[in-house]
């Protein structure tokens, strides 16, 4: 019946399902344990009629023309440049911390002298990871730069990171580099070439991707309810009958292998949605609160979607420990030992593929245990499709 089974309907699973069914006419079954498609990018209209993102704010950006053009087959776009304000000492300043933030927090003369030093050492327009800025300021032995770097580290990054991850920033490989200090007046959160929001939302985009009679979707189903994989021999049965084909797996890799090497840890979140009877509630789409409250940030969805409505819905994000079967595994925790554990699973997946008549593809944020953006995942899926087209197992 099915040539391909896809576990999970986020971008990783949906892009491959779309490509395999539309280009290669494969018959695809998607198994999704949630009651909806779209993975973490899912959005919906709440009871007030406001479009909200169920799993936190999703802003699309990419430097890949291929990814942008691919998605453009399924959506029109609203041009959008994401801006974030962080509450520092009672003042709302742009993050990434930039020269405007500097002038908002320091007297003009101090700010001017710091700007000159920063530009002299790093160059105007540079984007510097905060841990690098701290290190270089230390090495230079310039006490003004040192105290600025420490100020930004402590006020913008340290408490936010402790709240979000319950880990010290130095332990988290690459995480702080996502939001570098910016030596310019550019208040945008991202500097990617393409930045836009899907005009009718993400879920509509997913519907368009998956609208094909060769794609069947089984919602509300953990794949283990209908698909049995012998992880030693690679034999597979689907609905109780032997099956072979292409199995694209986008769920957590440790769950697939029955936690053989132990659990891969994640951070979870709790979103508290509030609707207010005002047109706008925040001064930006996202406001970060590094040093106050138990939540890290508030998102006002209307500022992302440009919806006109007399009311507004916002979401407060509370970081949580991940407890399997209780909440959702949102963020892989990129500590050294976790990445090592993931490598054991990755190797296990390779061995499984060597033995099996079924081709197993582990792809996406959960299956590769990587802090991917939507664009990263779509690019990975498009590349994987190209590999499949060239492979003889297809």
Name the site residues for ligand FAD (rule: CB under 6 A): 7-13, 31-34, 39-41, 55-59, 222-223, 250-251, 269, 330, 364-366, 372-375, 377
Q: Which does 52 bind (CB under 5 to 8 A by kind): ligand UDP, ligand FAD, none?
A: none
The answer to whether residue 40 forms part of the interface with ligand UDP (CB under 6 A) is: no
Integer Cα distance of 44 and 25 in angstroms? 30
The answer to whether residue 179 forms part of the interface with ligand UDP (CB under 6 A) is: yes
Q: Which does 182 bind (CB under 5 to 8 A by kind): ligand FAD, ligand UDP, none?
A: none
The answer to whether residue 86 forms part of the interface with ligand UDP (CB under 6 A) is: yes
Report the residue number, 290 or 329, with the smaller CB distance to ligand UDP.
290
Q: Which among 7-15, 155-163, 343-351, 386-394 is the span making contact with ligand UDP, rule CB under 6 A?
A: 155-163
Other Cβ atoms less than 10 A from the Cβ of 269: the count is 19
3-state secondary structure of 119: helix
Integer Cα distance of 37 and 43 in angstroms? 10
- The answer to whether residues 20 and 26 touch, using CB atoms and an 8 Å cutoff, is yes
Of the residues 85, 95, 197, 284, which one makes contact with ligand UDP according to CB under 6 A: 95
For residue 122, the minimal CB distance to ligand FAD (Å) is 27
Q: Which among 35-43, 135-143, 176-184, 250-258 is the span making contact with ligand UDP, rule CB under 6 A?
A: 176-184
For β-strands 51-53 and 246-249, DSSP reports them as unpaired
Please identify which residue in the block is written with the tokens 């959008």: 80
Integer Cα distance of 65 and 141 in angstroms? 43
Q: At 367, list the tokens.
A: 């299956």
The answer to whether residue 65 forms part of the interface with ligand UDP (CB under 6 A) is: no
Q: Which does 251 bind (CB under 5 to 8 A by kind): ligand UDP, ligand FAD, none?
A: ligand FAD
Integer Cα distance of 356 and 12 in angstroms? 22
Q: What is the 3-state secondary structure (H, E, C) of 250-303?
A: CCCHHHHCCCCCCCCCEEEEEEEEEEECCCCCCCCCEEECCCCCCCCEEEECHH
For residue 166, the minimal CB distance to ligand UDP (Å) is 11
Q: Which does 253 bind (CB under 5 to 8 A by kind): ligand UDP, ligand FAD, none?
A: none
For residue 26, the minimal CB distance to ligand FAD (Å) is 19
Of the residues 290, 329, 332, 364, which one makes contact with ligand UDP according to CB under 6 A: 290
Residue nearest to ligand UDP (CB): 160
- The answer to whether residues 130 and 156 touch, using CB atoms and an 8 Å cutoff, is yes
- Residues 311-330 contacting ligand UDP, CB under 6 A: none
3-state secondary structure of 49: coil
Integer Cα distance of 206 and 5 in angstroms? 17
Integer Cα distance of 389 and 75 in angstroms? 25
Q: Which does 374 bind (CB under 5 to 8 A by kind): ligand FAD, ligand UDP, none?
A: ligand FAD
Please identify which residue in the block is written with the tokens 């199995």: 247
The answer to whether residue 293 forms part of the interface with ligand UDP (CB under 6 A) is: no
Handedness of CA 357, 223, 266, 17 (dihedral sign): positive
Of the residues 288, 312, 358, 379, which one makes contact with ligand UDP according to CB under 6 A: 288
- CA distances in angstroms from 1 to 9, 187, 197, 224, listed in the order given: 20, 52, 37, 19
- CA distances in angstroms from 164 to 54, 83, 203, 242, 331, listed in the order given: 18, 20, 27, 44, 10
For residue 349, the minimal CB distance to ligand UDP (Å) is 25
For residue 228, the minimal CB distance to ligand FAD (Å) is 13
For residue 156, the minimal CB distance to ligand UDP (Å) is 5
Q: Which does 59 bind (CB under 5 to 8 A by kind): ligand FAD, ligand UDP, none?
A: ligand FAD
- The answer to whether residues 80 and 89 touch, using CB atoms and an 8 Å cutoff, is no
Number of residues that bind ligand UDP (CB under 6 A): 13
The answer to whether residue 98 forms part of the interface with ligand UDP (CB under 6 A) is: no
Report the residue number, 57 or 290, with the smaller CB distance to ligand FAD.
57
Integer Cα distance of 59 and 182 in angstroms? 20
- List residues binding ligand UDP (CB under 6 A): 86, 95, 156-157, 160-161, 164, 175-176, 178-179, 288, 290
């Amino acid at each position: 019946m099915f040539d391909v089974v896809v576990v999970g309907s986020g971008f990783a699973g949906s892009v491959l399902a779309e490509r395999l069914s539309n280009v290669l006419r494969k018959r695809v079954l998607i198994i999704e344990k949630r009651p909806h498609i779209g993975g973490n990018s899912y959005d919906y209209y709440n009871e007030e009629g406001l479009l909200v993102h169920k799993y936190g704010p999703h802003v699309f950006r990419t430097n890949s023309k291929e990814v942008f053009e691919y998605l453009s087959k399924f959506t029109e776009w609203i041009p959008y440049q994401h801006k974030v304000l962080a509450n520092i000492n009672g003042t709302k300043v742009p993050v990434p911390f930039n020269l405007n933030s500097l002038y908002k927090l320091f007297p003009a003369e101090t700010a001017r002298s710091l700007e000159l030093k920063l530009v002299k050492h790093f160059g105007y327009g540079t984007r510097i990871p905060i841990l690098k800025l701290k290190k270089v300021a230390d090495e230079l032995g310039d006490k003004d730069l040192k105290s600025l770097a420490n100020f930004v580290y402590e006020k913008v990054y340290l408490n936010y990171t402790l709240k979000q991850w319950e880990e010290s920033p130095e332990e988290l490989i690459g995480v702080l580099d996502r939001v570098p200090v910016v030596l310019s007046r550019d208040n945008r959160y991202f500097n990617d070439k393409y930045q836009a929001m899907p005009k009718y939302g993400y879920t509509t985009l997913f519907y368009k991707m998956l609208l094909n009679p060769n794609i069947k979707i089984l919602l509300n189903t953990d794949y283990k309810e209908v698909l049995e994989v012998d992880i030693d021999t690679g034999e597979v049965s689907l609905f109780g009958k032997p099956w072979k084909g292409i199995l694209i797996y986008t769920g957590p890799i440790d769950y697939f292998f029955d936690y053989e090497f132990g659990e891969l840890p994640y951070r979870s979140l709790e979103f508290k949605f509030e609707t207010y009877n005002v047109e706008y509630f925040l001064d930006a789409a996202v406001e970060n609160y590094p040093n106050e409250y138990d939540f890290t940030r508030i998102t006002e969805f209307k500022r992302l979607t440009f919806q006109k409505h007399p009311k507004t819905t916002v979401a407060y994000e509370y970081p949580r420990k991940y407890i399997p079967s209780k909440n959702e595994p949102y963020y892989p925790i990129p500590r050294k030992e976790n990445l090592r554990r993931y490598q054991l699973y990755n190797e296990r997946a390779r061995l499984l593929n060597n033995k099996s008549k079924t081709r197993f593809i582990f792809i996406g944020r959960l299956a590769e245990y990587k802090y991917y953006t939507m664009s990263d995942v779509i690019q990975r899926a498009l590349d994987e499709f190209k590999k499949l087209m060239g492979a003889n197992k297809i």
